[in-house]
Chain A
Amino acid sequence: MVKGAAQSKSAPVFEQVDWDFDALRRTYDAIEQVARQDLGLDIYSNQIEIISSEQMLDAYSSIGMPLMYRHWSFGKHFLHHERLYRKGARGLAYEIVINSDPCISYCLEENTMPLQALVMAHAAFGHNHFFKSNHLFKQWTDAEGILDYLDYARRYIARCEEQHGMDEVEKVLDAAHALMPSGVFQHRRPRQPSLREAEEQREKRRAAAEENVYYLWNTIPNSPGEERERDAAMLERKREMRLPEENLLYFLEHYSPILKSWQREILRIVRNVGQYFYPQKQTKVMNEGCACFVHYHILNALHADGRLTDGAMLEILHNHTNVLTQPDFDDPRFGGINPYALGFAMMQDIRRVCDEPSEEDREWFPDIAGKGDWRNVLKHAWANYRDESFIQQFLSPTVMRRFRMFALSDNADDPYYTVTGIHDARGYRHLRDTLAGNHDISTLEPDIQIVDADLLGDRCLHLRAERRDGVPLASASREATLKHVERLWGYKVELQEVEPAR
């Protein structure tokens, strides 16, 4: 299945089970050769770090980042993962990879040498290429700056804890974390996050903004003329707010009447971190699919070339298969569609369509069927799509049949589910639309906007949540989150759930 099969065999790059740094380096070089010359991947330079299981748990708990400010919720996650791990209920990930330049991959020291090879091909090349080329990552994240920024965030929040007390900082962070998912500009291109050199600039900007806010809020009218003037200023202020605003954290950071400057900066930090993870949420299938496709291709190429022993390859395939299992819906292990399995299957299928298309494929994918140029088709897909559009564009009947997909609709007032489509000629398009919809971030997260701030009256802040398909907000969580918004805004906050205007 690999080009190199006919060529003369080379010596294996490693034969041992336990890894050492020499073997890692040799293997890395072999993988890199295939990645660059065969697949033509474009990657950030790699930094591969070997860590212990304890450190892996640490990394888990701070959302996978090497540097993070301190917060109790990370401690909670640590305890949670630790317990599962100690009980043996859950293994640890073999690796964690960070979208940064240089791209950092953490490899667990307990991995065997074949597993390290798998992990390097997967993370250091697959994910790395995806991070560097996908348009969402290019637009929303700043790979060179993220580590510097996190370092800054960590120091800043530690300083705040010293100056204002841990409890005060915790309150702001709690509130900010609750709003993290609503702290992203989903539709406009965000301003690039400032880096270390912009720190002073940031300081200046903050001071100016603060003055501005206090000036307006603290003006006390003495005469009718002044009152009119104040009203006019308030209206001007409101115009500046450019309501409606979907980014709650951004809005509160800039316009909350009660926050101190350090609190605003904390909101900004949380918002930037949230923004950084925004692309990852939208590209789970593609990102994992890309990494799996890359490691599968590279390791097979090395094996065919004799540079991986049969034993190593067997171990690799065993792990590969474990990760890529898609249980059936009635299996107790079923937890939704496995993004690894779906992504990998679709990408393997794109390759098949390019090389050996069937009649059906020619009809569904006239642009790529039989063109043979699967490398560029895939690279183009990796660069320009996200999960939803990728599925919409590339999910083929073959894959739907292989997974035996079916769509189920669930209406709250109907005691029955209805099967709306299965893997047959009538159902393909419907399945594809539905699955794409299931991966669309706008259907997964509620649509909440700030629609009005009553600056002249009781200063009540009005939010509006537009229900999609009548799905309400989870009520307990909604009330708790609203309290956090009130804490940040300082006055009453109202949230109205509405059906969309049709």
Chain B
Amino acid sequence: MAHFVDRRLNPKDKSLGNRRRFLKRVRSQVKKAVDEAVRRRGIADVDRGESVSVPTDGVTEPSFRQAQEGGRRERVFTGNKTFQAGDRVKKPLGGGAGGGGRRGSPDGEGEDDFLFVLSREEFLDLFFDDLELPDLVKRSLKEITRTHPRRAGYSTTGSPANINVSRTMQNAVGRRIGLKRPKDDEARELLRRIFLLELISSPTKEQRAELSALRAERDEIMRRRKVIAYIDPLDVRYSHFEQQPEPNAAAVMFCLMDVSASMGEREKDLAKRFFVLLHLFLSRRYEKTDIVFIRHTHDASEVDEETFFYSPQTGGTVVSSALVKMKEIIDERYPPSEWNIYAAQASDGENFGGDSPKCATILSQELMKICQYFAYIEIVDEEEARLINSEASGMELWQAYRQVSEIWPNFARKRVAKASDIYPVFRELFARSHAGAGEKHG
């Protein structure tokens, strides 16, 4: 006799522990692949799994085994067509030992790199790795949408805790009336009359007839009461809840970057991480997130992402041109009443002489009023970062922005020399988001 077991509902991911152990082992290689992917991908695209390949040497499982080549071997094959005993066949170039067909290596894997897919979760973990985000922030970035249960009518199925008593009783009453279930009072009245008739010691003929009629009626009533339940499973209703996403409005994110020659590979890479992080934050908060890329030298233009990061341009540096451009685009396409506007600006701090006060003016008088948040990072060398660590020192632009940040709490600025410096720029933004203040819900 066989015993059948349904295991499908057993907890899944039994091998999760093994998977974690494996990822730990190949961590450095995987990390490299993730960094590579961040560089390659679009900003809005970072947020998903990644296929990663790691060189096999870290993960081989060695054992004493026989080499694929060398020595004398003899094997039996199938499907002979023209061979006769004693025939000699030229070995294929490269000296495969098998003489035909494919031969896998003993553990079923080729020489190629070991390829596998990281989940979104694992990918983000590694992405966050050197940004040094606080755990709370990591968690809130990874969570995709927040939902809230809302009442949405009744349903015929549900958990006992959600049973809706009044609706259930309403149905039961209706059904009992419809099916003419004898009422309690009727039954009690009948029983009383039977009881009274039974009390009579010498009943007349009519009384006897009445008694048996009443008894028959009682039996019928009892039967009906039994057949037509007081509450039938059909009557039961449950309160139904739907998981509704929190009301989210649209957001637009402006990426402003100085692309003059002084911005090299390293600077752009840091800038990209900065943009990615802000975008991750926005895409979690808002259902729809647009990104606008504005690059500038002495002149600003709106470009696509590819051009933004990779296309070289030469020229001077006039930061205010980007701000003017941003204002233009907002006026044209993103009315502040409908959009939450965020901006992230990255630069190496160079600016055309005399332009910086102009920037400060544009920000203070126009942009900061309509922006949810404006973050500025100045990318500096690590050594430089050690030299100019005082607030007072720094370039003209830094100085000008200092005034802005003093007036506007939603303006953040930071000097950044390495990836872990990026997060503090957003610290307030994330802190604020937990308080849930200052949001416009369109």
Contacts and interface: CB of A to CB of B under 8 A. Distances in A.
B63 A481 contact: yes
A51 B10 CA distance: 9
A424 B85 CA distance: 9
Interface in B285-310: none
A327 B15 CA distance: 35
Given A72-B22, A407-B75, A469-B73, A52 B90 contact: no
Given A179-B63, A419-B87, A469-B71, A329 B99 contact: yes
A102 B3 CA distance: 9
B5 to A, nearest CB: 4
A366 to B, nearest CB: 25
B166 interface: no
Interface string B1-28: 1111111101011110111111111000
Given A419-B85, A423-B80, A484-B62, A79 B3 contact: no
Interface stretch (A21-29, A136-144, A237-245, A357-365): A21-29
A55 B10 contact: yes
B71 A467 contact: yes
A80 interface: yes
A471 B256 CA distance: 65
B117 interface: yes
Interface centre among B17, B18, B21 (most CB of A within 10 A): B18
A32 B1 CA distance: 8
A326 B23 CA distance: 38
B181 to A, nearest CB: 37
B114 interface: yes
Interface in B105-127: 109, 114-117
A70 B17 CA distance: 7
A416 B88 contact: yes
B60 interface: yes
A465 B63 CA distance: 13
B385 interface: no
Contacts of A446: 64-66
Contact of B67 (A109, A423, A444, A472): A472
B79 interface: yes
A328 B78 contact: yes
Contacts of A58: 13-15
Given A406-B76, A410-B75, A411-B72, A75 B22 contact: yes
A182 B62 CA distance: 12
A241 B213 CA distance: 102
B61 interface: yes
A71 B3 contact: no
Nearest to A174: B61
A435 B77 CA distance: 9
B7 A49 contact: yes
Contacts of B382: none
B216 interface: no
Contacts of A445: 65-66
Interface stretch (A200-208, A331-339, A378-386): A331-339
B368 to A, nearest CB: 48
A62 interface: yes
B119 to A, nearest CB: 11
A39 interface: no
B97 interface: yes
Contact of B78 (A57, A405, A416): A405
Contacts of B116: 79-80, 82-83
B438 interface: no
Given A328-B79, A417-B91, A48 B3 contact: yes
A255 B1 CA distance: 47
B149 to A, nearest CB: 28
B111 to A, nearest CB: 11
Mostly helix, strand, loop or mixed at chain B's interface?
A: loop
A174 B58 CA distance: 12
Interface string A425-437: 0110001001101
A133 to B, nearest CB: 19
B94 interface: no
Given A337-B76, A422-B83, A50 B5 contact: yes
Nearest to B76: A435
Nearest to A479: B62
A407 B89 CA distance: 12
B69 interface: yes
Contacts of B66: 444-446, 471-474
B71 A412 contact: yes
B209 interface: no
Interface string A44-88: 011111111011011001100000001111111011101100100
Nearest to A182: B64
B65 A473 contact: yes
B5 A48 contact: yes
A477 B85 contact: no
B102 interface: yes
Contact of A47 (B3, B78, B81): B3
A190 B97 CA distance: 36
A329 B79 contact: yes
Contacts of B109: 80
B84 interface: yes
Contacts of A423: 80
A402 to B, nearest CB: 9
A404 B65 contact: no
Contacts of A473: 64-67
Nearest to A109: B8
Contacts of A424: 85
Nearest to A124: B2
A480 B64 CA distance: 9
Nearest to B72: A469
Contacts of A411: 72
A406 B71 contact: no
Contact of B4 (A50, A76, A444): A50
Nearest to A47: B3
A403 interface: yes
B76 A434 contact: yes
Given A109-B8, A407-B76, A418-B86, A334 B99 contact: no
Nearest to B74: A409
A16 interface: no
A182 B66 CA distance: 13
Contact of A52 (B8, B83, B87, B101): B8
A399 to B, nearest CB: 11
Nearest to A483: B62
Nearest to A67: B14
Contact of A49 (B5, B68, B75, B117): B5
A331 B52 CA distance: 32
A213 interface: no
Contact of A332 (B17, B18, B23, B101): B101
Given A48-B5, A79-B19, A472-B67, A334 B101 contact: yes
A317 interface: no
B134 interface: no
Given A71-B21, A83-B117, A50 B64 contact: no
Contacts of A54: 12-13
B64 A477 contact: yes
B79 A327 contact: yes
B383 to A, nearest CB: 36
B1 to A, nearest CB: 7
A470 interface: yes
A214 to B, nearest CB: 29
A24 B72 CA distance: 51
21 contacts: A25-B4, A32-B2, A49-B4, A62-B18, A75-B23, A83-B116, A83-B117, A329-B99, A331-B101, A334-B100, A334-B102, A335-B103, A408-B75, A408-B89, A410-B73, A420-B74, A423-B80, A434-B75, A471-B71, A473-B65, A484-B62
Interface of B: 1-8, 10, 12-15, 17-25, 59-81, 83-91, 97, 99-104, 109, 114-117
Give 4 nearest A-B pairs by CB, closest first: A328-B79, A75-B22, A334-B101, A471-B71
Given A50-B8, A76-B59, A418-B88, 4 more contacts: A75-B17, A78-B19, A83-B117, A422-B80
